Chain A
Amino acid sequence: MSEVIVITSGKGGVGKTTTTANLGVGLAERGKKVVLIDTDTGLRNLDLLLGLENRIMYDLIDVTDGSVPYKKALVRHKKYDTLFLLPTSQVKDKMSVNEEQLIALCNELRKDFDYILIDCPAGIEQGFKTAIAAADRAIVVTMPEISAVRDADKIIGELGRADKEEIELIVNRIRPQMVRKGDMLDMNDIDEILSIKCIGQIPDDELVVTSTNRGEPVITNHNSVAGQAYRNIVGRISGEEIPFMKFSEDGFWVNLRRVFGW
């Protein structure tokens, strides 16, 4: 059975597109057939994060307005041959595609793919409403920062109003050292405030920046803690029970510190 998952956040810059790229690669690594749809029309970026920016011929708008069949617009990933990108237009705007068109497209894609991940634009305007329309499941990305948490709460409310029942949370860019000092909200705090199911917490990791520079999602880097966190999320999305990384006084980080004598 195929699943349509929208990755959304409200606030910009919290890591929606990075998360979409990493989850897509992670699911494809497991042999799933995955298509990633960029719906941030006018501000296209998912192609860059996947290293596919030079291979785009057609875009989402060409497909939804009927100019080309979707198979012509899909860009196959260089390394993972079950991973495809449907890029959006960099020149048109968010009104160029509507809810019905995206729902119809996703229904077509369901026949061929296990997972359809939709990268949502920031904000709560029409672009957001269009992006969530076709989704069975929503993943809200936030950061341990008051403005990002407040915006996540707003988005969760909007998803509820749109009758989305399966909503999950990813807390991105946690800084373990600040959490330990009591200077940063951790996953449990955010869990308590937003009261929705958390499926992942990702530590801030310089390797995310370097891998983004290269167009290779960090999930493939086995030396990266963020990569490990993303692999855990992919497992949870696939229905596995995987314990959460611990950033507080016991567990993984303390052991790591002991080993390296920090």
Chain B
Amino acid sequence: MLESIMKMFDKTNKSSKEVARDRLKVVLIHDRANISPEIMKLLKDDIIKVISNYMEINKQDMEITLANDETSVALVANIPVNRMKHNYGILR
């Protein structure tokens, strides 16, 4: 009884269920963002294909990764560009 009254006044003290829910939400963001190396390779090839319509890129030095932080996941691509193509659009 005393414990539950204490809890009512102590707003900073999350219930164990809230802790569980918050931890799960974060861990699932990371779990769900895990993609296999094969899929990553396919994605990379597709990105190269699309970008190559517009510019010449350095395929060796390009990097595509999933970056995780506390609460979100981002697809981060670092693609060195050698030069622009001037006939873009025609190739589409």
- A residues near B, CB below 8 A? 146, 149-150, 153-154, 157, 179, 181-186, 189, 192-193
A209 to B15, CA, bound (A): 29
Pick the residue among A149, A182, A183, A186 that contacts B24 (CB under 8 A): A149
With A153-B28, A153-B32 known as contacts, the answer to whether A182 contacts B20 (CB < 8 A) is: no
Identify whether the interface residues of B are mostly helix, strand, loop, or mixed: helix
Q: Are B21 and A182 in contact (CB under 8 A)?
A: no
Using CB atoms, name the residue of chain B closest to A193.
B24
- B residues near A, CB below 8 A? 4, 7, 15-18, 20-21, 23-25, 27-28, 31-32
Q: Are A182 and B32 in contact (CB under 8 A)?
A: no
Rounded to whole Å, the gap between the CB of B73 and the closest CB of chain A is 14
Q: Are A185 and B20 in contact (CB under 8 A)?
A: yes
A174 to B31, CA, bound (A): 25
Q: Are A182 and B17 in contact (CB under 8 A)?
A: yes
Rounded to whole Å, the gap between the CB of B66 and the closest CB of chain A is 15
A150 to B4, CA, bound (A): 29
Q: Are B21 and A189 in contact (CB under 8 A)?
A: yes
Identify whether the interface residues of A are mostly helix, strand, loop, or mixed: helix
Q: Are B18 and A182 in contact (CB under 8 A)?
A: yes
Rounded to whole Å, the gap between the CB of B35 and the closest CB of chain A is 11
A25 to B53, CA, bound (A): 61
Q: Are B32 and A193 in contact (CB under 8 A)?
A: no
Using CB atoms, name the residue of chain A closest to B25.
A193
Rounded to whole Å, the gap between the CB of B34 and the closest CB of chain A is 10
Q: Are A150 and B17 in contact (CB under 8 A)?
A: no
A193 to B25, CA, bound (A): 6
* Interface CB pairs A-B, < 8 A, 25: A146-B20, A146-B23, A146-B24, A146-B27, A149-B24, A150-B24, A150-B28, A150-B31, A153-B28, A154-B31, A157-B32, A181-B15, A182-B15, A182-B16, A182-B17, A182-B18, A183-B15, A185-B21, A186-B17, A189-B17, A192-B21, A193-B21, A193-B24, A193-B25, A193-B28
A212 to B7, CA, bound (A): 39
A155 to B28, CA, bound (A): 12
Pick the residue among B4, B23, B27 that contacts A181 (CB under 8 A): B4
Rounded to whole Å, the gap between the CB of B36 and the closest CB of chain A is 10
A residues within 8 A CB of B4? 181
Rounded to whole Å, the gap between the CB of B40 and the closest CB of chain A is 16
Rounded to whole Å, the gap between the CB of B2 and the closest CB of chain A is 13
Rounded to whole Å, the gap between the CB of A58 and the closest CB of chain B is 40
A153 to B24, CA, bound (A): 10
Rounded to whole Å, the gap between the CB of A227 and the closest CB of chain B is 26
A193 to B15, CA, bound (A): 17
B residues within 8 A CB of A185? 17, 20-21
Rounded to whole Å, the gap between the CB of A169 and the closest CB of chain B is 14
B residues within 8 A CB of A157? 32
A189 to B27, CA, bound (A): 15
Rounded to whole Å, the gap between the CB of A140 and the closest CB of chain B is 14
A210 to B19, CA, bound (A): 33
Q: Are A183 and B28 in contact (CB under 8 A)?
A: no
Most buried by A among B16, B17, B25: B17
B residues within 8 A CB of A189? 17, 21
A153 to B27, CA, bound (A): 11
Using CB atoms, name the residue of chain A closest to B23.
A146
